[in-house]
Amino acid sequence: MHATLPGTNPGEPRMPPVLYGHPFSSYTQKVLIALYENGTPFEFRCIGPETPEHAAEWRRRWPIGKFPLLVDGDRDMAETSIIIEHLQLSHPGPARLIPDDPAAALEVRFLDRFFDLHVMDAAQHAVDGALSGDPVKRRDGMAKAVEKLERSYAWLEGALAGRIWAAGEAFTLADCAAAPSLFYADWTHPIPDGCPTVRAYRARLLARPSFARAVDEARRYRPLFPLGAPDRD
């Protein structure tokens, strides 16, 4: 990680940022949504078996082994929330994904953390259990995911009441996090009928052009979903 922001000197030539990731990865989609919302030019380098050189370069740059990774000038940036904050600072566009008002920004950042930690990571227990190939781990992983997701859905049902987007009227970083996390969480353990607000919010996210595009680009990878992708969405 480097300390200087690229392209901050007037007249400095600027290459578009490069995003290493995979179209079917929830956290990659979170950043893609932010890029699509602002029409930010970027180069996508898929980490997949057809392009091993991308995987090698990503691992060289970020040995922690999590994706996506954004390379912007001389900066390597990991962690999706930080990447999106960086995009707003360095590649601002019409969509203000983090509000300028500090109190409003705090609510957005809190909801971003909620969707990553209590929705996406909750569903991941079931995915990891299924990927293990061990029936006991699969059952335990699903049980853990269900227990956590039930609590998260119930909390969201109250938190989202009367809101169009996660934090209110404007589409923000929190919605970038919410879209893929609720998408895959619902595949893992469907949002119950008793949470109509969360179900309607997920449907609005799916209709949002930035996320609809990310979902379409990932469609051909659905057989990779280890719990079995449902025939919808």
Q: Please report how close the Cβ of residue 130 comes to ligand GSH at its closest, in angstroms.
A: 14
By beta-carbon proximity to ligand GSH, the closer residue of 70 and 195 is: 70
Contact 104, 167 (CB under 8 A): yes
40-60: burial string, b at 16+ Cβ within 10 Å, e else: bebebbebeeeeeebbebbee
Query: Going residue by residue from 107 to 126, which x/- string records binding to ligand GSH, judged by CB under 6 A?
Result: ---------x----------
Q: Please report how close the Cβ of residue 82 comes to ligand GSH at its closest, in angstroms.
A: 8
27 contacts ligand GSH (rule: CB under 6 A): yes
Q: Please report how close the Cβ of residue 66 comes to ligand GSH at its closest, in angstroms.
A: 4
67 contacts ligand GSH (rule: CB under 6 A): yes
80 contacts ligand GSH (rule: CB under 6 A): yes
Sign of the torsion angle spanned by Cα atoms 50, 227, 217, 6: negative
Question: Can you point out the beta strands (E) in the chain?
Answer: 18-21, 43-46, 69-72, 75-78
Q: How far apart are CA 142 and CA 154, in angstroms?
A: 18
Cα 218 to chain centroid distance, Å, stands at 13
By beta-carbon proximity to ligand GSH, the closer residue of 116 and 175 is: 116
Residue 166, number of CB atoms within 10 A of its CB: 28
Q: Please report how close the Cβ of residue 57 comes to ligand GSH at its closest, in angstroms.
A: 15
For ligand GSH, the binding residue among 18, 20, 26, 91 (CB under 6 A) is 26
By beta-carbon proximity to ligand GSH, the closer residue of 157 and 187 is: 187
